Amino acid sequence: MPLLPGHSTWVKQLACHDEMQLKKTLIKRDKHSTQSRQIQTYNHENYCAFIHKIAATMKLALWFT
C-alpha cells in the first residue's frame, strides 16, 4: 500500500490499513468457527503489531513536532 507524503496523512493510512486487516480477519473467524482458535491467535499477534506501530508512530510524530 503506497503511503502518501504528509505529516498526518500516512499515519492515518497506516492505522486504517491495519484496522481493515483486523476486520477482515474477524469476519473470516465468524464464518469459519472451526478455525476460530487459529484466527484468534492471528488476531492477537496482529493486535500486538498494530499497538507497536501506533507507539512508534506517536514517537515519530512527537519527534518531528
**What does the pLDDT look like over 15-38, one tens digit per residue?**
666 677 767 766 766 666 555 566
Residue 3 lies in a domain: no
Residue 64 CB contacts under 8 Å (≥ 6 apart), including other chains: 7
| pLDDT band of 1, cuts 50, 70, 90 | very low
Residue 6 lies in a domain: no
Residue 2 lies in a domain: no
Residue 8 lies in a domain: no
Residue 31 lies in a domain: yes
Residue 45 lies in a domain: yes
> pTM for the complete prediction?
0.35
Number of independent structural domains in the chain? 1
pLDDT mean over 39-43: 64
Residue 1 CB contacts under 8 Å (≥ 6 apart), including other chains: 13, 17
Q: Which domain holds residue 43?
A: 13-64
